[in-house]
Amino acid sequence: MRVSVVDVASSDARLLLELRRAAVESRADAVIVGVPVSGATVGFGEAALAARLPVLLTLPSVEPVAATGGRWLFALAPTPEQIARRAVQITESPLDTIVVTADGRPPDPEARAIVDWWSRVARTVPQQVRVDRRDETLQMAVRLAGVPTTAGTGRRVHIAGPPREWGPLGSALKQSARSATYVLSYLTEHTDLGEFRDGLDAVWPAPVHLTLAAIPPNAAASARRQFVQSFTDRHGPPTAHAAAAFDALTLLALAAERAGADDRERLRDQLEGTSFTGVTTTYAFSVTRHAGYSGDDLVLYRWSGSAPVPDTRR
């Protein structure tokens, strides 16, 4: 397998350009996309349809199969709805919940999924606060988080987007509102937790198999254990994104062996008929299902001070 890595610098235009280049100039057999892609990414579905090569998405995406170009798109990360279901499980009521999003950013799919989930289940929605990083709005979010709930318990505060984007908010939260539990994004990397590490109760959803302690020591899980051990030895505990990238390459290699020819359409057809036990989950794809992640393998983690550990609260 020959792999080329391209940094698109979070640019949608560069992403579309590189997708075309992979299809036309490089004659790639497949593309792995490790940046956020959604229905709001203008032209992405049309570009995937025109490229006619399998595109594997390693960050959260809604079920792509019904969208433009969806037959060529495969989602290896959990969907926003799967993330929302796991993230709200430590919250008894939407009345105890605040969803904080950044002003000036596109709508966050995780935050939207959390609001939609409560709307369906409880027929009411949590309070939503948009902050623009000015001191007064940050302090408002802190005050709201510190207000006792009707049950007298601490609030659950969902922070949209990865922690690296919330440095000022983290500093403000550190000064008060310690009774709240902060539920961070699936995009969280433990190396980015910064201000959240010291004295704050923060959790985030991630695949269950990111630590050796969560993987049974048996032959069926040997590939998972080998990946986690080797990655940890080189770089520290793996993130969900690193594990998904490993799974994407392994999945492509497996499908390519079965396809038996240099044919993108046959490779796509093989991917659609694949069930595969990877590091993050056991994926199951079909013609009508291209979001292959099993939501049962998603848990909440917290930072132990040296490594992520599963959070056992319910």
The verdict on residue 103 lying in a domain is yes
Whether residues 97 and 38 share a domain: the answer is no
The interaxial angle of helices 109-121 and 80-87, nearest 10 deg, is 60
Which is more confident, 134 or 2? Answer: 2
**DSSP characters for 35-81?**
S---TTSTTHHHHHHHHTS-EEE-S-----TTSTTGGGEEE-SPPHH
CA distance 225 to 227: 5
Whether residues 102 and 186 share a domain: the answer is yes
% of the chain surpassing 70 pLDDT: 84
The verdict on residue 289 lying in a domain is yes
pTM of the model: 0.89
Whether residues 85 and 198 share a domain: the answer is yes
Whether residues 98 and 148 share a domain: the answer is yes
CA distance 145 to 136: 14
How far is Cα of residue 181 from the mean position of the Cα atoms in its chain? Answer: 20
**DSSP characters for 148-185?**
--TTSSPPEEEE-S-GGG-HHHHHHHHTS-TTSEEE--
The verdict on residue 145 lying in a domain is yes
3-state secondary structure of 289: strand
Whether residues 130 and 193 share a domain: the answer is yes
Whether residues 98 and 184 share a domain: the answer is yes
Q: How many domains does the chain have?
A: 2
The verdict on residue 305 lying in a domain is no
Whether residues 52 and 156 share a domain: the answer is no
Mean per-residue pLDDT for 201-214? 87
Domain boundary among 157, 184, 204: 204
The verdict on residue 180 lying in a domain is yes
For residue 266, the model assigns a pLDDT of 93
The verdict on residue 224 lying in a domain is no
What is the span of the domain harbouring residue 136?
Answer: 81-204
The verdict on residue 230 lying in a domain is no
Q: What's 188's domain CATH number?
A: 3.40.50.2300
pLDDT bin (cut points 50, 70, 90) of residue 76 is very high
Domain boundary among 155, 177, 204: 204
Q: 17-21, 161-165, 247-251 — which is least confidently predicted?
A: 161-165
For residue 220, the model assigns a pLDDT of 81
The verdict on residue 313 lying in a domain is no
- Tens of pLDDT, residues 18-30: 999 999 998 999 9
